Amino acid sequence: MKCFFDPKSVVVIGASNAPFNLGATICNMLKDYLQYTGAVYAVNSKGETVNGYPGYSSVLDIPEAPDLAVIIVAARHVPGIIRDCARKGIKRIVIESAGFSEGGEPGEAMQREIDDIAKANGIRMMGPNCLGTLSTRDKFCCFYGVNPSLVEMSQIFEVPGNLSYIIQSGGVAVLAMESLYYDIVGVNKVVSIGNKCDVDEADLINYFQNDETEVIGIYLENIADGRKLMQAAKKSRKPVLIYKVGKTKEGAVAAMSHTAGMANNDSVFDSVCRQAGIIRLQSIDELHSLPKIFTEMPLLAGKRIAAFTNSGAFGGIAADLLVAAGLRMARLAPHTQERLKKAGQVFNIKNPVDIGPAPPQTYLDIYDILLSAEEVDGLLPLLSVWQPFVIDTLLELLKMCKHYNKPAAIYTPNAVAKSIAIRAKHRIPIFETTEQAVRALSVSQKYYESLLKRKFICNSASHSTLAERGKRTHAEIIGEQCTTRAPKSTSVPCS
């Protein structure tokens, strides 16, 4: 798989100097923006140079066998080009051309033909009908149509992250990446798999087990091999989040016309998700809104949540949402309530904890009291940023969550634009709605349960033990060996 994301040489078949040529945009991206250091060749009918890259009229004329071929020509020409690639010894191909199995019988016949050629020659293929691949750490991208002058694209490559996407639609890939411009989770790799005639989501889940990926986000319109997907997800030691269309008959028909696949039985897919530990997403925005609960916070090891607000209304809202999500409002112990009384300016010492105008130390004391309480598994802070010091206390809260090995899903009930600006400037994992924050806690807890079920972790150590050993995000927890037995209800990884 590595050559799809970090090739040392590339040929763009279909790149030319014609107006609005899509292949040329790939060449421009590689040279003018990414300063790609490998060899790049262009193949077009005139054999013309494209943006300084040498041009040839045939793949067979190139002086070497490139690591990767990117094909973006009319579908009818693709089978012949695949044959030429096979003769040249090219083993990795991305077919960005459309017009195959999503376009009816003639396209299906061409797709079967290229499948046969590839299999006979040991070629692995992405697509057809896809956008391509992107790797921030390798500074490689073969997406067509990208404008390198976009400031947002610069951010993606300048700050590589740990979230990798497997997307069946190029448009959804762009939406997810653009949305992350204003969040704190960065992109590691993105791959648009299109009709996935060869490389599919299961192959990529397996591949992402061995790179910098911490969370895998997937958008699917169909599943060709459910058993293969289930096996890959079951073995994954990284959260797999999937949004799949086709819940309705109309959605299934639309999906088939887009990427040529039956959307499959939705209830069966639900069952697969539960068995394999897949987090099934409820909306497209969860592809970019939920990953930060995994990358920035410890996992939620229980269902008991303490809500903390400086606006009483949001306490009631939170209680309704938590219960609806299958979580519980923690019953605070008398000792915990006594400690809260001493914090000052506390209107309600029961859960949800509600305060009025209070100094920074009150916030810090309440964070500490709730996170240290044995009857609390996680925190839901619903804190309006009415003074700048609230931001400072939230930064301290992040440290406390790691110390106590308990997560907080933070929501600031201010205008969304203000919350996003605070999140971007201070790198605080703020969710944009109460619903998002509660949903984040829910998926964290469900993922924790799935790790227990798959025996990737075991009930064997206290929160304090985990804190002492530096266990913080789920990625670090999974990497540890379970060597001791300790009180129930918390966990360390099993060997």
Q: Which domain holds residue 269?
A: 150-295
Predicted local distance difference test score (pLDDT) of residue 344: 82
Give every CB contact of residue 63 below 8 A, 6+ residues apart in sequence. none
Whether residues 270 and 309 fall in one domain: no
65 domain residue, yes or no: yes
Predicted local distance difference test score (pLDDT) of residue 361: 95
**pLDDT above 60 for 359:** yes
Q: How far apart are CA 137 and CA 332, in angstroms?
A: 46
Predicted local distance difference test score (pLDDT) of residue 102: 74
Whether residues 168 and 245 fall in one domain: yes
For residue 145, what pLDDT band results from cuts at 50, 70 and 90?
confident
Q: What is the pTM of this model?
A: 0.88
Give every CB contact of residue 99 below 8 A, 6+ residues apart in sequence. 74, 75, 76, 107, 110, 129
Check: CB of residue 420 under 8 Å from CB of residue 432.
yes
Whether residues 377 and 399 fall in one domain: yes
What number is the average pLDDT over the span 277-301? 96
Q: Token digits for 487?
A: 């009180």
Predicted local distance difference test score (pLDDT) of residue 253: 54
Give every CB contact of residue 56 below 8 A, 6+ residues apart in sequence. 41, 42, 43, 47, 62
Q: Which residue has the higher pLDDT, 357 or 151?
A: 357
Of 295, 319, 340, the one marking the end of a domain is 295
How buried is residue 391: exposed, middle or buried, by Cβ count under 10 Å (0-12/13-18/19+)?
middle
Element (H, E) at 338: helix 334-341
366 domain residue, yes or no: yes
Question: What is the per-residue pLDDT across 242-281, written as a single tens digit (0 to 9) for each?
Answer: 999 876 655 555 544 444 444 457 788 888 899 999 999 9
DSSP code per residue over 431-481: ESSHHHHHHHHHHHHHHHHHHHHTTSEEE---HHHHHHTT--SHHHHHTS-
Whether residues 114 and 171 fall in one domain: no
| Average pLDDT of every residue of the chain | 88
Whether residues 400 and 373 fall in one domain: yes
**pLDDT above 90 for 428:** yes
135 domain residue, yes or no: no
Whether residues 19 and 100 fall in one domain: yes
Q: How many domains does the chain have?
A: 4
Whether residues 354 and 326 fall in one domain: yes
Q: How many CB atoms lie under 10 A from the CB of residue 424?
A: 14
Predicted local distance difference test score (pLDDT) of residue 467: 33
Q: Helix 105-120 to helix 78-88 angle, to the nearest 10 degrees?
A: 0
Whether residues 321 and 280 fall in one domain: no
What is the CATH number for 21?
3.40.50.720
Q: How far apart are CA 33 and CA 154, in angstroms?
A: 9
Predicted local distance difference test score (pLDDT) of residue 105: 83
For residue 61, what pLDDT band results from cuts at 50, 70 and 90?
very high
Residue whose C-alpha is closest to residue 458's, from 440, 481, 437: 481
Check: CB of residue 428 under 8 Å from CB of residue 392.
no
Whether residues 119 and 189 fall in one domain: no
Residue whose C-alpha is closest to residue 62's, from 80, 37, 35, 44: 44
DSSP state of 406: -
Predicted local distance difference test score (pLDDT) of residue 493: 44
Beta strands in 169-267, from DSSP E residues, in sequence order: 187-192, 215-220, 240-244
134 domain residue, yes or no: no
What number is the average pLDDT over the span 110-126? 94
DSSP code per residue over 256-280: HHHHS-----HHHHHHHHHHHT-EE
361 domain residue, yes or no: yes
Per DSSP, the three-state class of 218 is strand
Whether residues 96 and 161 fall in one domain: no
Q: Which residue has the higher pLDDT, 385 or 224?
A: 385
Residue whose C-alpha is closest to residue 296's, from 394, 401, 165: 401
**pLDDT above 60 for 363:** yes
Instruction: Report the alpha-carbon angle 148-179-260, nearest 5.
Output: 85
Whether residues 77 and 96 fall in one domain: yes
Question: What is the per-residue pLDDT across 5-23, written as a single tens digit (0 to 9) for each?
Answer: 999 999 999 999 999 999 9
Predicted local distance difference test score (pLDDT) of residue 481: 38
94 domain residue, yes or no: yes
One-letter amino acid at 213 equals T
One-letter amino acid at 208 equals F
Check: CB of residue 132 under 8 Å from CB of residue 142.
yes
Q: Token digits for 34?
A: 């990414």
440 domain residue, yes or no: yes
Element (H, E) at 93: strand 92-95
What is the CATH number for 438?
3.40.50.261
What number is the average pLDDT over the span 426-455? 96
Whether residues 98 and 118 fall in one domain: yes
CA–CA distances in Å: residue 429 to residues 268, 297, 323, 327, 473: 34, 9, 23, 21, 13
- Secondary structure of the chain: what % helix, strand, coil (to 5)? 45, 15, 40
Tokens 């990767």, located at residue: 68
369 domain residue, yes or no: yes
Q: Which residue has the higher pLDDT, 491 or 141?
A: 141
Q: Helix 360-372 to helix 389-404 angle, to the nearest 10 degrees?
A: 20
Sign of the alpha-carbon torsion through 10, 13, 16, 21? negative
**pLDDT above 90 for 38:** yes
Q: Which residue has the higher pLDDT, 490 or 441?
A: 441
Of 270, 295, 320, the one marking the end of a domain is 295
Tokens 């939920």, located at residue: 290
